[in-house]
Amino acid sequence: MDAFLRQFREQEQKLTVERREKTQCPYCSMQCTMYLHKKHSPYSSRYQVSPNREDPVVQGRLCVKGMQAHVHALDRNRLKSPLLRRNGKLEPVSWEEAMDWFRRKVTDTQRQAGRDAVAVYGGGSLTNEEAYLLGKFARIGLGTCYIDYNGRFCMSSAATAANQAFGVDRGMTAPLSDIPRAGCIIVAGANIAECQPTMMPYLRRAKANGAVLIVIDPRKTPTAKLADIHLAVRPGGDVALVNGILKVIVEEGYTDEAFLRNHTTGGEALMDYLQSVSIGEAARESGVPAEEIIRTARAYGEAETGWVLTARGVEQHATGVQNVRNFINLILLTGKIGGVGSGYGAVTGQGNGQGGREHGQKADQLPGYRRIDEPEHRRAVAEVWGVKESDLPGSGVSAFEMFSLALERAIRGMVILSSNPLVSSPDVGFVEKALKQLDFLVVIDLFLSETAEMADLVLPGSSYLEDEGTMTNLEGRVTLRRAVKKLPGTAKPDWVILGEMARVLGKGKYFSYSSPEKIFDELRCASRGGIADYSGISYGRIEEEGGVFWPCSRKDTPGEARLFTDRRFFHSDGRARLTPVPHVSLPEPTNDEYPLVLTTGRLMPHYLSGAQTRRTPDLNGKAPEPFLYMHPDRAKRCGLENGQEAHIVSRRGEMVLRVKLTSGIREDTVFGPMHWGGEQCINRLTLPELDPDSRMPSFKACAVRVTPVKVKGIPKISSMQGERSG
Ligand SMILES: Nc1nc2c(c(=O)[nH]1)N[C@H]1C(S)=C(S)[C@@H](COP(=O)(O)OP(=O)(O)OC[C@H]3O[C@@H](n4cnc5c(=O)[nH]c(N)nc54)[C@H](O)[C@@H]3O)O[C@H]1N2
Ligand SMILES: Nc1nc2c(c(=O)[nH]1)N[C@H]1C(S)=C(S)[C@@H](COP(=O)(O)OP(=O)(O)OC[C@H]3O[C@@H](n4cnc5c(=O)[nH]c(N)nc54)[C@H](O)[C@@H]3O)O[C@H]1N2
Ligand code: SF4
Ligand SMILES: [Mo]
């Protein structure tokens, strides 16, 4: 080696300081902890990640996204100062100028069109403290009823169903450590191997202990490959499939009569309904052979203990709530809940998908899962906030409906924090039109995302490395993530930005916190007595105990890791609810013109709208472009070969993607990933038909036509880019 180079290296090594900080992955609901190592010398800074073997949930496991998570946070393209649109272009401005502009816009808009004319749109990556603060900012800072968040597109159907059936929505009714004790596990519409990779060892351990694993998915996913039984259901066919299973459960005597009698209501109506169900019909409607339905029912029925896990495949339908209710019917009919080794889990998606849905980001919600239309709940929260109950607005509308109101000009200004709806909403063409109608759009993000590019004001927020707060994982375990790095440029923690926005609107006294812990202390009070009661949890306890489960109402008792142990549910009569769920066909059935069902979802290396992972070279390299996944037989009939460009058309939009042929998908179904924007955005096609109860759009099924792109006359696609006119 060159002598100079060797000398330089030695010198550098001497001057290198290494620091190791514990952090927590910003991506999925597993919330794996890890160490971030920073090697710093006067010449360079290098970062590396190592696992935390003491992590109580994943014991040191991390997936590819976790290993690479720091890369986007350290990206040089992070937003470093506020950007204000002038003469059509976004230009850097000072915070003073940005805030002054914000104050004028809000004040003018609300003076002209009323308080509700300004809306707030949040996200499930925010800490509990920030989700709580965003709800308070909407109601007190702006005084608007319009607030909702991206969780509406996520687990809202499961949340509604669990509330209806159990009187409480905590994703999992018992901790993950319970899963290996199950005798049978049904995983429905959940691709855990790609979406919660570090959860897989729990399923593998269950299998090693003898559990039968059943996966229900139109695709043979990596999760389905592990299954003993894979039911390749037709998208939207889950209700019919489960009705067939229920029929066998009843006919072959797998019901738990004592449990039904003592702890439930609605069983008789369900039994009556099941008399009209035939297994042959269930097979036809679901696309799953009758023998498989019977095999599944026997496996679950015979097992002493069992878990049912659902995720977005079941939930993201216009019938999402009913779909989940039927899976809960299966659990309740067999009494497989409350005891060790049995339970229900909606596999929550986002990092704080659980906590983010509890503390007031939702249109009809106040902290602690309180309801904004319940006088007593309003009084309790108004008292904590130091306002009159009558000062609190009423309930607003769901995420997608806020865009409809923007198009109608009932909403004229919007503040979006930590979401990228121009990629992630159904029918993004419609959403783009709606955002263009706004008088002003403010986006608080890490990057100039597709949505931020449309904004009038972009504010640089904080990434997981720079922001502290609690995150509730998919089990209902409240964890604490410390800040380990300084913010880039003049970027600010999201909670500080919310405080400053409130201050310029003259509401500073309600938002004067010196730290996230102070916000948490207020959240604890506001949640006291609510269903999601955090009042006994403190930062100190979380650190000492490796996380604390909610509900936890006392400082000196542990949180409730396992719910319903005494078989008492959260309804006032203590009983869980069964209900008949008839199969209904998809809101957009296929026909000659649109003969295929498009379903959408995730790939292992990317996360949601891709705003973070497309900016991470090692992740993007693993999946640099979206494909349309298609069965080879179907492709042949469409005249398509592997890798060829296909023109995909739905009633709302069109796009071109290359096809990837795989025998691991139903012939009548195609699959498109959701992680790209612009012309590659699958949501150009998706259907915004909403579930009547949860207001969840139908992301998982719409009708499409797929044809080869002709070399001549490639179909023209209208541009998705462009500024708002308004
Ligand atoms: N790698 C990665 N991991 C993630 C995310 C990510 O973007 N990337 N996002 C996180 C978030 S926010 C979420 S919500 C979760 C989502 O986690 P999942 O819900 O597990 O992921 P999806 O791919 O959306 O859908 C799951 C499966 O549903 C199937 N499916 C489609 N239609 C139907 C149907 O009608 N019935 C049934 N039974 N199945 C159907 C699809 O084929 C797909 O394999 O993942 C989290 N983890
Ligand atoms: N077709 C189809 N569409 C879907 C789905 C589907 O299965 N199919 N799934 C739906 C689901 S389950 C979900 S959860 C939604 C999610 O959809 P989005 O909410 O749009 O997803 P993200 O990519 O997480 O958007 C987060 C944005 O905030 C920024 N950000 C990340 N962390 C922070 C932070 O801490 N602070 C700030 N200020 N900004 C931050 C990121 O850069 C990014 O621009 O998509 C939904 N859309
Ligand atoms: S499993 Fe989820 S939380 Fe864990 S490292 Fe992967 S993306 Fe992050
Ligand atoms: Mo999600």
Domains of the chain: 2-73 (2.20.25), 83-154+353-518 (3.40.50.740), 157-347 (3.40.228.10), 596-708 (2.40.40.20)
**Atom 5, ligand 3: residue with shortest CA distance:** 66
- Ligand 1 atom, smallest distance to 154 CA: 14
Q: Tell me how far apart the alpha carbons of residues 430 and 428 are, in angstroms, rounded to a whole number.
A: 5
Contact 318, 691 (CB under 8 A): yes
Residue-level pLDDT at 284 = 98
- Ligand 1 atom, smallest distance to 190 CA: 20
Amino acid at 183: G
Burial of 605 (0-12, 13-18, 19+ CB in 10 A): buried
16 pLDDT exceeds 90? no
* Residue 313, ligand 1, Cβ within 6 A: yes
DSSP 104-163: HHHHHHHHHH-GGGEEEEE-TTS-HHHHHHHHHIIIIII--S-EEEGGGGTTHHHHHHHH
Residue-level pLDDT at 2 = 84
264: closest CA among 167, 154, 389, 339?
167
493: closest CA among 528, 465, 532?
465
470: closest CA among 399, 412, 552?
552
Confidence of residue 718 (pLDDT cuts 50, 70, 90): very low
Tokens in use for 23?
């952090």
CB atoms under 10 Å from CB of 636, counted, come to: 12
Contact 122, 131 (CB under 8 A): yes
Contact 372, 394 (CB under 8 A): yes
- Ligand 3 atom, smallest distance to 351 CA: 3
Mean pLDDT of the chain: 96
Amino acid at 686: T
Which stretches does DSSP call E strand in 207-281? 212-216, 229-231, 264-265
- Ligand 3 atom, smallest distance to 196 CA: 1
Tokens in use for 58?
């994943």
719 pLDDT exceeds 60? no
Residue tagged 């604490």 (tokens) = 480
Specify the 3-state DSSP secondary structure of 22: strand
Specify the 3-state DSSP secondary structure of 708: strand
Residue-level pLDDT at 473 = 98
Query: Which ligand minimizes its atom distance to the CA of 491?
Result: 2
Q: What is the 3-state secondary structure (H, E, C) of 200-218?
A: HHHHHHHHHCCCEEEEECC
Ligand 2 center from residue 289 Cα (angstroms) = 37
For a mutational test of ligand 3's pocket, the pick from 24, 28, 619, i.e. the residue with the most ligand atoms closer than 8 A to its C-beta, is 28
Average pLDDT over residues 438-458: 98
Ligand 4 center from residue 218 Cα (angstroms) = 19
- Ligand 2 atom, smallest distance to 151 CA: 14
Percent helix, strand, coil in the chain, to 5, is: 35, 20, 45
Q: Tell me how far apart the alpha carbons of residues 464 and 131 are, in angstroms, rounded to a whole number.
A: 14
698 pLDDT exceeds 70? yes
Average pLDDT over residues 650-659: 98
Q: Which pTM does this prediction carry?
A: 0.96
Q: Tell me how far apart the alpha carbons of residues 443 and 414 are, in angstroms, rounded to a whole number.
A: 8
CB atoms under 10 Å from CB of 225, counted, come to: 11
CB atoms under 10 Å from CB of 492, counted, come to: 21
Query: Which ligand minimizes its atom distance to the CA of 125?
Result: 2
Residue range 289-316, pLDDT digits in tens: 999 999 999 999 999 999 999 999 999 9
Residue range 452-466, pLDDT digits in tens: 999 999 999 999 999
Residue 137 CA, chain-centre distance (Å), reads: 22
Q: Tell me how far apart the alpha carbons of residues 646 and 455 are, in angstroms, rounded to a whole number.
A: 32
Q: In this structure, which residues have their CB less than 5 angstroms from ion ligand 4?
A: 154, 349-350
Confidence of residue 196 (pLDDT cuts 50, 70, 90): very high
Q: Tell me how far apart the alpha carbons of residues 1 and 121 are, in angstroms, rounded to a whole number.
A: 57
Residue-level pLDDT at 712 = 52
Q: Which residues line ligand 2 (CB under 6 A)?
A: 123-125, 150, 153-154, 312, 316, 349-350, 417-421, 423-424, 444-447, 449, 461-463, 494, 600-601, 608-609, 611-612, 674, 682-683, 686, 699
Tokens in use for 82?
């506020």
Tokens in use for 358?
């509890």
DSSP one-letter code for 717:
-
DSSP one-letter code for 17:
E
- Kindly report the length of the chain: 726
Query: Which ligand minimizes its atom distance to the CA of 686?
Result: 2
CA atoms lying within 13 Å on the CB side of residue 56: 16
Q: Which residues line ligand 3 (CB under 6 A)?
A: 25, 27-28, 30-32, 62-63, 65-66, 196-198
Ligand 1 center from residue 521 Cα (angstroms) = 34
**Atom 34, ligand 1: residue with shortest CA distance:** 235
Q: Tell me how far apart the alpha carbons of residues 372 and 363 are, in angstroms, rounded to a whole number.
A: 8
- Ligand 3 atom, smallest distance to 199 CA: 1
Residue-level pLDDT at 97 = 98
Q: Tell me how far apart the alpha carbons of residues 144 and 158 are, in angstroms, rounded to a whole number.
A: 27
Residue scoring higher pLDDT (123 or 18): 123
Q: What is the largest CA-CA distance in the chain?
A: 87
Ligand 4 center from residue 83 Cα (angstroms) = 28
Q: Tell me how far apart the alpha carbons of residues 549 and 177 are, in angstroms, rounded to a whole number.
A: 13
Specify the 3-state DSSP secondary structure of 565: coil
E strand or H helix at 414: strand 413-417
Q: CB neighbours of 10 closer than 8 A, spacing ≥ 6?
A: none
Ligand 3 center from residue 603 Cα (angstroms) = 13
714 pLDDT exceeds 90? no
Ligand 3 center from residue 202 Cα (angstroms) = 15
Ligand 4 center from residue 566 Cα (angstroms) = 31
For a mutational test of ligand 3's pocket, the pick from 36, 49, 62, i.e. the residue with the most ligand atoms closer than 8 A to its C-beta, is 62
Residue range 322-365, pLDDT digits in tens: 999 999 999 999 999 999 999 999 999 999 999 999 999 999 99
Tokens in use for 557?
């008792």
Ligand 4 center from residue 79 Cα (angstroms) = 24
* Residue 236, ligand 1, Cβ within 6 A: yes
For a mutational test of ligand 1's pocket, the pick from 221, 242, 324, 700, i.e. the residue with the most ligand atoms closer than 8 A to its C-beta, is 700
φ and ψ at residue 541, rounded to 5 degrees? -65, -45
Tokens in use for 447?
């990057």
Confidence of residue 721 (pLDDT cuts 50, 70, 90): very low
For a mutational test of ligand 2's pocket, the pick from 612, 615, 652, i.e. the residue with the most ligand atoms closer than 8 A to its C-beta, is 612
Q: CB neighbours of 646 closer than 8 A, spacing ≥ 6?
A: 628, 630, 638, 640, 656, 657, 658, 659, 706, 707, 708, 709
* Residue 148, ligand 1, Cβ within 6 A: no
Ligand 4 center from residue 258 Cα (angstroms) = 37
Query: Which ligand minimizes its atom distance to the CA of 349?
Result: 1
- Ligand 3 atom, smallest distance to 24 CA: 3
725 pLDDT exceeds 70? no
Confidence of residue 9 (pLDDT cuts 50, 70, 90): confident
Query: Which ligand minimizes its atom distance to the CA of 350?
Result: 1
Residue tagged 């979380």 (tokens) = 542
720 pLDDT exceeds 90? no
* Burial track 200-213 (b if 16+ CB lie within 10 A, e otherwise): bbbbeebbeeebbb
Separation in Å, CA 351 to CA 179, 195, 296, 561, 674: 21, 11, 32, 19, 18
Residue range 158-180, pLDDT digits in tens: 999 999 999 999 999 999 999 99
722 pLDDT exceeds 80? no
